């Protein structure tokens, strides 16, 4: 049996069967236990890493509700084949999820072009890799909202990535 046993921080996980098919996707809150008899339980404390993994299985999530319907905080939805996590409960608007980062965290792929984060929900984490002005950078800190341009004082938060 594989388990996540009373983590100190929230953990996000994907449980898969021997054939690689996803059976469950979810989260474990601090001081709770999640266990499975399945073959694999991949988990992380990083919601960003979870979204990247979950994006491979976006079709297994419930579809993003249409305009006017309730959307629940903490739930990952399928938005036309992309995994998006609701940050705040709200009534769905007509806006694209990419245009309302205070309400949704959208899965980013590694080495995407750097985009200015709008808050904690989409800040870069340690190990995130981005491109900026034709160069590739890796974040050295969590909650990184700085520009990876190598100029003082922010160059201590990013380093060139080989």
Residues 118, 103 share a domain:
no
What size, in residues, is the chain?
Answer: 162
Most confident of 31-35, 93-97, 98-102, 142-146: 93-97
- Is 92 contained in some domain? yes
Q: How many domains does the chain have?
A: 3
Say how far residue 105 (Cα) sits from the centre of its chain.
Answer: 7
- Is 149 contained in some domain? yes
- Is 54 contained in some domain? no
- pLDDT (mean) for 64-73: 93
- Is 130 contained in some domain? yes
Q: What is the pLDDT of residue 61?
A: 79
Confidence of residue 5 (pLDDT cuts 50, 70, 90): confident
Distances 143 to 6, 8, 21, 110, 157 between C-alpha atoms, Å: 24, 19, 32, 16, 10
Q: What is the pLDDT of residue 88?
A: 87
- Is 53 contained in some domain? no
In this predicted model, which residue has the larger pLDDT, 135 or 42? 135
Q: What is the pLDDT of residue 154?
A: 60
Q: What is the pLDDT of residue 84?
A: 83
In this predicted model, which residue has the larger pLDDT, 49 or 71? 71
pTM of the predicted model, to two decimals? 0.52
Comparing 87-91, 143-147, 154-158, the range with the smallest average pLDDT is 154-158
């Amino acid at each position: 049996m594989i388990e996540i046993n009373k983590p100190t921080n929230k953990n996000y996980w994907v449980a898969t069967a021997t054939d690689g098919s996803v059976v469950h996707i979810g989260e474990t809150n601090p001081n709770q236990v999640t266990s499975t008899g399945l073959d694999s339980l991949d988990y992380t404390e990083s919601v960003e890493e979870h979204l990247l993994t979950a994006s491979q299985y976006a079709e297994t999530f419930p579809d993003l509700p249409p305009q006017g319907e309730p959307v629940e905080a903490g739930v990952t939805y399928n938005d036309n084949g992309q995994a998006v996590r609701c940050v705040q409960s709200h009534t769905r608007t007509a806006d694209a999820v990419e245009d309302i980062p205070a309400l949704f965290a959208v899965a980013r792929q590694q080495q995407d072009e750097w985009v200015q984060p709008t808050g904690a929900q989409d800040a870069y984490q340690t190990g995130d890799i981005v491109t900026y002005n034709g160069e590739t950078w890796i974040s050295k800190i969590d909650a990184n909202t700085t520009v990876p341009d190598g100029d003082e004082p922010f160059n201590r938060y990013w380093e060139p990535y080989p």
